[in-house]
């Protein structure tokens, strides 16, 4: 292969793919067979991190950035004046294999602009995955993008070679989608998602009866939403997210703060800040939903439509629900322990194990790694020192903010200046 040509294509097509935030390489169970190359059984591995602090786990590229659509938020939209390029199937295979052999990556994340038609594009994505699996005996991780509108037959084939499939709904509400991507319809995104969901259920059922049933997208499906491009509030975003988790058994929903790439007046202008703090708060909420036993309506509802930026969503919930506290860490159940601000699930697990041997005091909790500056107002332990004053939520918040520094201090103080 011609080095210079490949080099140029890689620059263009990696640059265009970087707005997809998913880089997960975990959750698959594909083992190395017949002394082939690669193994995707373990946990995911981040082989490097970009200067923006994001994990580099997969070779994330577009097959092409030619596209027939003109979605306002997208850098490869038809009307954008950028260099265009397209990889050949064999070129992607060679890059993946050679990067993998050097331990640069866990596998491939292949997406594409839509050229000619949805099926024409999906067919080529599937061809890359098929070649990697069948000709190269590659057992590393493959994440393929489901092209909206692709046929059921192609989606089924894609699932047989890929570990994960994803289709990005991009805009959290249908109204927003109509405004920013008039050529696209919500149904087109949903269709491949439904097909993959049903196939996963069916293959899992068959696997119980026949052991050598092939794997079908063992790492499941995910999707992504752009935050701060179309005016949705956090309540709408998390409701959509919750709906997709529940209705389509998604493994992950990713939230991507909008990076301004266009002078289109429907969108935030170039130079406006990426809403990174808001993105972080949304991820925290997502975690509370998935791992901490919260229902989304406890955190966001008609009364609280946006997340606080200055404190994390769990603390914010606790301050609104002081009647649930203080919690006694030596007797409380796992559900309530997980609700104490400043306690992560690892600390919860350690506390539950440690308290079988003796009653825990502040010293123990500190050593275990509990963030006491937040937790102390919400719990009691084996000590006669605990918060005895009857503090209001505002007072507690004030004390906590006084004694902590946020890594987003700069962002926060800018925002406070606006109103103060």
Partner 1 sequence: MTAKNLIYDGTFDGFLSAVFYVFEHKLKTVRIQNEFTAQQGLFSENEIIITDEVKANRVWNGIKTKLASQGCYQLYYAFLSEQIGVEDLLLGYLQYAFSKTKNMGKDYSHPSILKIAQIAKSVGREKHRMEAFVRFRLTKDTIYFASIAPDFNVLPLIDKHFKRRYADQKWVIYDLKRKYGLFYNLEKVEVMQMDFPEHFDFTKTDAAFFSAQEFEFQKLWQDYFKSTNIESRKNMKLHIRHVPKRYWKYLSEKQPN
Contact 274/380 with Cβ under 8 angstroms? no
Q: With respect to partner 1, which residue has the nearer C-beta, 225 or 318? A: 225
Q: Which residue has the tokens 């950028």?
A: 82
> How far apart, in whole angstroms, are the C-alpha atoms of residue 336 and residue 265?
47
Taking the complex as a whole, the smallest distance from the CB of residue 370 to partner 1 amounts, in Å, to 11
> How far apart, in whole angstroms, are the C-alpha atoms of residue 229 and residue 258?
6
**Scanning residues 8 to 27, which ones bind partner 1 (CB under 8 A)?**
10-11, 14-15, 17-19
Contact 164/189 with Cβ under 8 angstroms? no
Tokens of 220: 């499941």
Residue 328 touches partner 1, criterion: CB under 8 A: no
Stretch that binds partner 1, among 98-106, 152-160, 181-189, 292-300 (CB under 8 A): 98-106
Q: With respect to partner 1, which residue has the nearer C-beta, 54 or 116? A: 54
Stretch that binds partner 1, among 46-54, 226-234, 240-248, 307-315 (CB under 8 A): 46-54
Taking the complex as a whole, the smallest distance from the CB of residue 126 to partner 1 amounts, in Å, to 23
Stretch that binds partner 1, among 171-179, 201-209, 212-220, 254-262 (CB under 8 A): 254-262
> How far apart, in whole angstroms, are the C-alpha atoms of residue 316 and residue 310?
9
Q: With respect to partner 1, which residue has the nearer C-beta, 62 or 238? A: 62
Quick one: which of 5, 82, 90, 98 contacts partner 1 (CB under 8 A)? 98
Residue 358 touches partner 1, criterion: CB under 8 A: yes
Residue 364 touches partner 1, criterion: CB under 8 A: yes
From the list 181, 195, 217, 168, the residue with the least C-alpha distance to 70 is 181
> How far apart, in whole angstroms, are the C-alpha atoms of residue 85 and residue 19?
17
Contact 12/84 with Cβ under 8 angstroms? yes
| Cβ within 8 Å of residue 169, ≥6 positions away | 186, 189, 223, 224, 225, 240, 244
Contact 417/411 with Cβ under 8 angstroms? no
Stretch that binds partner 1, among 215-223, 300-308, 337-345, 359-367 (CB under 8 A): 359-367
Q: Which long-range contacts (CB under 8 A, 24 or more apart) does 405-413 make?
A: 406/310, 408/276, 408/277, 408/280, 408/309, 411/273, 411/276, 411/277, 411/309, 412/277, 412/309, 412/310
Residue 412 touches partner 1, criterion: CB under 8 A: no
Residue 416 touches partner 1, criterion: CB under 8 A: no
Residue 46 touches partner 1, criterion: CB under 8 A: yes
Residue 120 touches partner 1, criterion: CB under 8 A: no
Residue 48 touches partner 1, criterion: CB under 8 A: yes
**Scanning residues 135 to 154, which ones bind partner 1 (CB under 8 A)?**
137
Interface residues with partner 1 (CB under 8 A) are 3, 6-7, 10-11, 14-15, 17-19, 31-32, 35-39, 41-42, 45-56, 59-60, 95, 98-99, 101-104, 137, 257, 259-260, 274, 276, 350-351, 353-358, 360, 364, 367-368, 407
């Amino acid at each position: 292969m011609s080095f210079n040509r490949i080099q140029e294509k890689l620059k263009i097509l990696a640059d265009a793919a970087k707005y997809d935030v998913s880089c997960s390489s975990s959750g698959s169970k594909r083992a190395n067979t017949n002394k082939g190359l690669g193994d995707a059984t373990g946990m995911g591995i981040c082989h490097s991190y970009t200067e923006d602090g994001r994990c580099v786990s997969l070779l994330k590229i577009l097959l092409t950035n030619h596209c027939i659509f003109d979605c306002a938020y997208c850098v490869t939209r038809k009307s954008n004046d950028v260099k265009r390029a397209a990889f050949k199937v064999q070129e992607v295979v060679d890059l993946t294999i050679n990067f993998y052999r050097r331990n640069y990556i866990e596998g491939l994340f292949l997406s594409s602009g839509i050229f000619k038609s949805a099926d024409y594009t999906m067919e080529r994505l599937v061809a890359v995955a098929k070649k990697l699996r069948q000709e190269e005996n590659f057992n590393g991780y493959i994440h393929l993008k489901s092209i909206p509108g692709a046929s059921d037959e192609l989606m089924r084939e894609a699932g047989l070679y890929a570990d994960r499939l994803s289709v990005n709904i991009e805009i959290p509400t249908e109204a927003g989608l109509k405004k920013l991507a008039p050529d696209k319809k919500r149904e087109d995104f949903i269709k491949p998602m439904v097909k993959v969901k049903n196939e996963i259920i069916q293959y899992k059922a068959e696997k119980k009866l026949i052991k050598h049933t092939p794997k079908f997208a063992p790492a499941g499906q995910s999707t992504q939403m752009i935050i701060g491009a179309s005016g949705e509030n956090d309540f709408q975003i998390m409701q959509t997210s919750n709906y997709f988790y529940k209705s389509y058994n998604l493994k992950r929903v990713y939230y991507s703060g909008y990076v301004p790439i266009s002078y289109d007046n429907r969108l935030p202008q170039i130079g406006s800040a990426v809403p990174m703090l808001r993105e972080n708060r949304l991820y925290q909420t997502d975690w509370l939903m998935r791992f901490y036993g919260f229902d989304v309506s406890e955190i966001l509802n008609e009364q609280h439509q946006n997340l606080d930026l200055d404190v994390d969503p769990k603390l914010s919930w606790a301050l609104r629900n002081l009647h649930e506290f203080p919690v006694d860490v030596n007797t409380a159940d796992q559900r309530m322990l997980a609700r104490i601000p400043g306690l992560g699930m690892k600390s919860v697990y350690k506390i539950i194990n440690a308290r079988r041997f003796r009653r825990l005091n502040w010293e123990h909790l500190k050593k275990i790694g509990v963030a006491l500056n937040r937790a102390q107002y919400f719990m009691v332990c084996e000590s006669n020192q605990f918060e005895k004053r009857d503090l209001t939520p505002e007072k507690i918040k004030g004390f906590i903010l006084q004694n902590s520094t946020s890594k987003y201090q700069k962002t926060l103080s800018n925002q406070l200046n606006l109103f103060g």
